[in-house]
A = this chain, B = another copy of it.
Amino acid sequence: MADVARAVGVSTGTVSRALRGLPGVSEAMRRRILRAAEGLDYVVSPGASGLATGRTGSVAVLVPHISRWFHARALAGAHHVLRNAGFEVVLYHVEGIAERREFFETLPVRRRADGLVIIALSLSESEIARLGGLGSMPVVGASTDLGGHPSVGIDDPAGAAMAVRHLVNLGHQRIGMIRATDEEGVHRGVSQRRLDGYLAAMAECGLPVQQDSIVSAPWGVDGGAQAMAQLLSLRTPPTAVFAEADDVAAGALRTLRRAAVDVPGQMSLIGFDDSPIADLLDLTTVAQPVYEQGLIAGRMLVDAVEQGTIAESRQRLDTRLVPRGTTSAVRRPGR
């Protein structure tokens, strides 16, 4: 910046103001400075200006997984608006339980970012409390609740209920559910809410729920496969199954195929998320806007950072049933 100032013959203060469009510099001078800066292809040092202003110009995004479709997609959304708002996005990927604890203990984000968005990571009470150590730094959640902090998400119970009602409307009465667990508990909150929705819808429809037709398995295709195997080994297996995520539904489908159970003839299956594999496998599912959640979370954070106001708000986006080939009316007995 000193170079630019010298080239034009003004002080660095003026250059600074000119570059950032602040008043107090004539149009003619501004143009000269801009041109000189261009010529010397000068870029401001974010570190130095951060030192002076106290703002870093970047926001942190915390994700428990990078390569899962959901997280990557939401990240893309958040990145889009953050970058357009002029922020860097620095990525924090907490892979295991250890990294996760370290993140919340040391809060490495503190001096490095102006805000934090957390994507699809269910926090414990104590973790939420630790977030207080961030001081006035705004935090927003996408697809996760963060106590007092603003967040975007979907109405998981409603989505799950939608799935169940779809099956009920097709005449199913014995409806199982496959839950997904992961040791890190990343997914815990969502899982609980989808279970709640399932239970509520079953109750609302006056259907009994058998405890053994709600099975849990590790997140992922293999988990889903295993869970479906368990359901198939029941005395009276369900005629329809709601899997809380497309990934596990995909595994369930594999088991069904291998067991030569006709889908949807003998067994209906519905997933959740509408990930690309749902389309690929022709899997009926409940769609949720993922990219949009990232978008909105990003926008909320930008607003919070720029206005310094951290409005507590909890935005809920709609889910949508996507009927495909894995659900159909229940086979009439004796037909």
Chain A residues proximal to chain B, CB less than 8 Å = 41, 43-48, 50-51, 56, 58, 61, 66-69, 72-73, 75-76, 79-80, 83, 88-91, 93, 95, 106-108, 110-112, 133, 221, 250, 254, 276-277, 279-281
Copies of this chain: 2
With known contacts A90-B90, A95-B80, A47–B56 Cβ distance under 8 A: yes
With both chains docked as a complex, state the minimum distance between the C-beta of A207 and any C-beta of chain B, in angstroms.
31
A-B contact pairs, 17 of them (CB 8 A): A41-B133, A43-B108, A45-B51, A47-B56, A47-B111, A47-B112, A66-B73, A67-B73, A76-B93, A80-B93, A80-B95, A88-B90, A88-B112, A90-B91, A221-B279, A280-B280, A280-B281
Q: Which of B47, B75, B95, B110 contacts A66 (CB 8 A)?
A: B75
Inside 8 A of A80's CB, which chain B residues have their CB? 93, 95
B66 touching A250 by the CB < 8 A rule? no
Cα–Cα distance between A29 and B44 once the two chains are bound (Å): 38
Q: Which residue of B lies closest to A44 (CB)?
A: B111
A234 to chain B, nearest CB (A): 25
Q: Give CA–CA (A250, B280) in the complex, Å.
A: 7
Q: Is the CB of A58 within 8 A of B93?
A: no
Counting chain B CB atoms within 10 Å of each CB, which of A44, A69, A111 scores highest? A111
Q: In the complex, how many angstroms separate the beta carbon of A43 from the nearest chain B beta carbon?
A: 5
Which residues from B are CB-within-8-Å of A83?
93
Tell me, in angstroms, the Cα distance from A21 to B201 when the chains sit together.
60
Q: Are B79 and A72 in contact (CB under 8 A)?
A: no
Partner of A45 from the list B58, B67, B111 (CB cut-off 8 Å) is B111
Are B221 and A276 in contact, CB atoms less than 8 angstroms apart? Answer: yes
A125 CB to closest chain B CB, in angstroms?
20
Give complex CA distance A68, B111 in Å: 31
Q: When chains A and B are docked, how far (Å) is the Cα of A333 from the Cα of B140? A: 64
Question: Which residues of chain B come closer than 8 Å to A66, judged between CB atoms?
Answer: 72-73, 75-76, 79
Is the pair B93, A79 in contact by a Cβ cutoff of 8 Å? Answer: yes
